[in-house]
Amino acid sequence: MRFRAVVLALLLPLALTACATPRTLELTQAPSADIAGTVEIYVATTREPSAQPVYFSGERATKLSFARLDITVPRSHKPGNLELPSSGPGDPAKHFTATYVQRLDLAPVISDVRKELQRRPANQRDVLVFVHGYNTNFADAVYRFAQIVYDSGFKGVPVLFSWPSRGELLAYPYDRESAYYSRDFLEANLRGIARDLGSSRMDILAHSMGTLLTLETLRQAAIRGDGTFGGKLRDVMLAAPDVDLDVFKTQMAQIRRPITVFVSSDDKALDFSRRFAGDKTRLGAVSAKDTEIIAELQKLDVRIIDISAVASGDSLSHDKFASSPKVVQLIGERLRQDRGIGFAGPQFGDRLGDIAGGVVGTVGSTVGLVVTAPVTILSGGR
């Protein structure tokens, strides 16, 4: 009981902003005149299948399940916003809505995605895998990914890897164990994408506790001898990673590949995680001011983009990667670049400037370019 009281005290700031009712995927027939577009998402999940409108619960399944969904975007949508109703299926003219949900077996989903990739131009045959974070149920993961895909302008095939988060604030320990539980499944999914789908390349975008799952998966893949997944893996982007900094260093010692990390020193969710985890620094809370840490991470081929000064509608500053129009557009622009967001050098800074509408001057070091320039540009410039 005492432990529960301590956890409640730590969670109180987060609880004040939490949704009271778990979101579901209630189907809506959306008139075409009311929407700006439709995002088609494929899903691989370790969640236990459930009845409609939940579809996949927060409990752990013994095997991967698959699905395809269509999510419409309202014509009134503003970049960075995720317009959802307080309850019910929502109004397509005002909200993101689900119009199609189909569970699929492995063979049909491989066939469908292969056909989808083959019908696209060569420069749009990429797969973006999104791994969501803690306190996220299936519906919330789907809607958030749809918003990211639409706002970033990603033209490839979106694949959501959804692991068994219960979508409850007090389920933090359960969620963390579920992330570890899903490592082998995520690796199998990534190997299947690289081997069976005929994609040009695949990128990974992970958020919050989903970054722990992603890093653990990449670490074990590297130890097995193929951390590049046959050369198909390109960008790995971690947003607000809820990972112990010391643990991250040991993971990167095995992973040995470029990784880009979006950090924000004002992230209230990571501040809770730090206190809950023995007052140990979280990777996502590092800032450009932590010069010694940044220099050490640079040696591990880690690129830090500090978005602390970026304003967004996210009261916890934990979802800036998606809720800030500038940051989500930056992610989309980097996915369109042949050499990826992991590439560091003068051209990297110049392109950041193009996206944010600013100008990057000459920067003497890679650390200064990758860390300082985005802060300056994305926050309006000095």
Give residue 314's pLDDT: 66
Q: Residue 358: is it exposed, middle or buried by C-beta count within 10 angstroms (0-12/13-18/19+)?
A: middle
Using DSSP's 3-state secondary structure scheme, residue 364 falls into: coil
Question: What is the C-alpha to C-alpha distance for residues 11 and 5, in angstroms, rounded to an integer?
Answer: 10
- Quick one: which H or E segment has residue 99? strand 97-104
Give the CATH superfamily of 2-341. Answer: Alpha/Beta hydrolase fold, catalytic domain (3.40.50.1820)
Using DSSP's 3-state secondary structure scheme, residue 116 falls into: helix
**Rounded average pLDDT per 10-residue block, the chain, 382 residues:** 47 48 87 89 98 97 98 95 89 94 96 92 92 96 98 96 95 96 98 91 96 98 96 95 95 96 86 68 86 92 90 75 90 73 36 34 31 34 28
DSSP conformational letter for 142 = H
Give residue 348's pLDDT: 34
Give residue 374's pLDDT: 39
Give residue 235's pLDDT: 93
b/e code 224-257 from CB counts within 10 Å (16+ = b): eeebebeebbbbbbbbbbbbbbeebbebbeebeb
Number of H helices, E strands in the chain: 14, 9
Contacts of 205 (CB under 8 A, 6+ apart): 128, 129, 130, 131, 148, 237, 239, 321, 331
Alpha-helical segments (H) within the chain: 2-15, 106-118, 138-152, 172-181, 183-196, 209-224, 245-255, 268-276, 291-299, 320-323, 325-336, 346-356, 366-367, 373-378
Question: What is the C-alpha to C-alpha distance for residues 193 and 187, in angstroms, rounded to an integer?
Answer: 10
CA 105 to chain centre: 25
Give residue 169's pLDDT: 86
Give residue 335's pLDDT: 85
Amino acid of residue 268: K
Q: What is the pTM of this model?
A: 0.86
Question: What is the C-alpha to C-alpha distance for residues 378 and 146, in angstroms, rounded to an integer?
Answer: 23
Give residue 346's pLDDT: 31
Domain residue limits, the chain: 2-341
